[in-house]
Each structure stands twice: as C-alpha cells, then as structure tokens.
C-alpha cells in the first residue's frame, strides 16, 4: 500500500466524547452530482485520496448524495486505499428524495437501523465513526430516534452520534438520551445566525461543530461574482444570493473581502476559511471540491491581523463583525481548489 508523506494538518477533538478529526474536513456532496454533474468513480476516488494524502482525514458524506447513494459508494472505494484507523468517516441518514423529487425526512427507529445497515454495506466498513441525523423528523420524538442510535453505538455499528440543523430544544432533548458529539450546521462569514444560541449551547454541552458551506456555497470562491457557475450547476437556482437582482449588491461585499485577501497575500477562500478556523478549535470547516490543483504543493498561510488598519471599523457596513479583531494564527490548507461547498 502506498504510504505517502502527509501534510501535517493537526488533529483536534470534536466534542468531548473522544472523537478526534483533522482540523479541516472534506465534504463529498458534490462528487456524486448534488446540484451538478457527478464525477466518475475513478475521479472521485482520486480526489478523496488527494485530500487524505495531504492530511485531511475527516471525510463526510450522506446516503442522500447522488443517485442510488453514489457518494457513499465512491467514498467506500476511495478509503480502501488507506488504513481504516487513519480515517474519520462521517455519514448521515434521515433525509431522502421521493420519486416525485420532493424531500422527505424519516426518524423512525426502524428506518434509522435500516439506513445504518445499508450505509455500512455501501461504505464497506464495520463501523461508522460519526453518524448524523441529516434533518430532524418533527413527526417522531427525538428521544425515539436517539434511543435507536444509542443501540447502534452499543452494538459497535457507530461510534459517535451527530445531528444536522436541529433546534436548541431538540439538541438538549437528544443529548439527554445519549451524548451528541457534533452538530453539522451552515456557518460562514455569510451565515452567522448560529452564533447567538447554537454555538454557546454546543460549548455548554461539550458538542463540536462541523461547518458546512464554509465558503457561502462558493460565494467566497467568486461564484457568480468573478466567474459563472458551470453549465451543470444548479446552485444559483437554490440560493437567492446568486439571483441576478442580488449579485450586484453582493459583489461589493466580495470585492472588499478580495481586496483584504490580496493585502495579506492569500485568496478570498483562504481568508474565509481562516476566519472560520479562528472561531475555535471546536469548529471544523467542511469545504468540498470537484477540481483540485493536483500538482500544487501544500500551502501554509500565516495571517497576522495586528495592524490598526485592519480593524472592524472599516467594515461596519458589512455582515462581518469581529472578522478582523487582532489575532495571530496558522492555517494549514491543501489547495485553493477546495472552493465548491
């Protein structure tokens, strides 16, 4: 088995139940064609291996992603290239699309078990490290769902339990049945509503946070601002920020971020991830991509925001409060290509 020298991206604890993950995760939603054309299995395996070899060992997928659960199948194939104990594998259940194209949620205990067994088979593993309920089923008491997940932990089929986009009340009720290790929530410079209640609650209960769409669904990578969406992408249909009537206003925000990134010798995506990484070691960004720069070396960026010229005062009209408070930090990134999710 090939054993390439890996980039030293640090490991951090996610929650207080014992789970350790790489400081940056890799989201696999786009690989199987979520809102865009899928990659081939060979391309997806190569891309996942590219991330893992550079130290990003926290791999996230879902049984929702792709036709016939293709993302899980791709991830399972890719991870056969590496020792199982080197990978932190996360997947999700409970959200699916009907034949009519409508999203549905299901948190019934029998459905939880059925989904877990199927994911284990597709991924080709005996145990899932982190198993999320993708969306909470309002018709099923969260206690019932959690009791089944607790059984799966006791049976050794999953190690840690997570929730995605739950309310504070649901978090407390679920956590009372079995400790929640992580929440997966949308969090970025653009989407910050969870700062008021969710993040303080996570820290109170010892729950880690995995931030999906850390680049604002590609906005901080310049999508719809400096480049157009690919022909096979539907992101601009689902997100109002990319609607024609909003792009002009949003371009002003992007330009200010881009100018600051240029000043510090990095790209806007790197600056956006830098800000997110600085929010705490208990917050793990989960970018994704379909097109890494395969031949580019790992990139280490050092940003020092100590200058009086980079204070909040010049950004008071932006939704970026506290972005440029004085701090020093190191960011281990792999490629500017991690820019899609």
- What residues contact 252, with CB distance under 8 A and at least 6 apart? none
28 close to 60: Cβ distance less than 8 angstroms: yes
β 128-133/88-93 pair status: parallel
Question: Which residue among 65, 131, 132, 160 is the active-site one?
Answer: 65
Question: Which of 94, 103, 165 is CA-nearest to residue 131?
Answer: 94
Q: Tell me the torsion sign for CA atoms 233, 234, 240, 244.
A: positive
Structure tokens at 279: 């929010």
Tokens 């145990």, residue?
127
Residue 65 known to be catalytic:
yes
Q: Structure tokens of 193?
A: 């509503």
Q: CA dihedral defined by 21, 294, 290, 25, rounded to 10 degrees? A: 10
Report, as residue numbers or ranges, the catalytic residues.
65
């Amino acid at each position: 088995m090939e054993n390439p020298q890996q980039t030293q991206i640090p490991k951090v604890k996610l929650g207080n139940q014992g789970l350790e993950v790489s400081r940056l995760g890799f989201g696999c939603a786009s690989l199987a064609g979520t809102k865009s054309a899928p990659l081939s299995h060979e391309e997806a395996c190569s891309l996942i291996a590219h991330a893992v070899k550079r130290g990003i060992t926290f791999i996230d997928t879902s049984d929702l992603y792709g036709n016939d659960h293709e993302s899980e199948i791709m991830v399972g194939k890719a991870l056969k290239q590496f020792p199982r104990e080197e990978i932190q594998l996360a997947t999700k259940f409970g959200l699916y699309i009907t034949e009519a194209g409508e999203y549905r949620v299901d948190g019934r205990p029998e459905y939880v078990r059925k989904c877990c067994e199927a994911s284990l088979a597709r991924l080709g593993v005996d145990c899932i490290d982190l198993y999320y309920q993708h969306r909470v089923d309002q018709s099923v008491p969260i206690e019932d769902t959690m009791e089944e997940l607790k059984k799966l932990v006791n049976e050794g089929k999953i190690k840690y339990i997570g929730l995605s986009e739950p309310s504070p009340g649901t978090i407390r009720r679920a956590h009372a049945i079995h400790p929640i290790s992580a929440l997966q929530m949308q969090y970025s410079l653009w989407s910050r509503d969870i700062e008021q209640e969710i993040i303080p609650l996570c820290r109170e209960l010892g729950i880690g946070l995995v931030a999906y769409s850390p680049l604002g669904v590609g906005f901080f990578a310049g999508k719809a601002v400096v480049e157009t969406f690919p022909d096979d992408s539907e992101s601009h249909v689902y997100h109002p920020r990319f609607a024609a009537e909003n792009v002009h206003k949003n371009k002003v925000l992007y330009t200010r971020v881009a100018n600051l990134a240029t000043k510090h010798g990095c790209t806007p995506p790197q600056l956006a991830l830098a800000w997110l990484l600085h929010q705490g070691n208990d917050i793990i960004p989960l970018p994704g991509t379909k097109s890494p720069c395969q031949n580019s070396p790992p990139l280490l960026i050092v940003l020092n925001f100590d200058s009086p010229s980079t204070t909040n005062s010049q950004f008071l009209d932006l939704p970026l409060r506290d972005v440029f408070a004085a701090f020093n930090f190191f960011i281990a990134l792999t490629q500017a290509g991690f820019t899609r999710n």
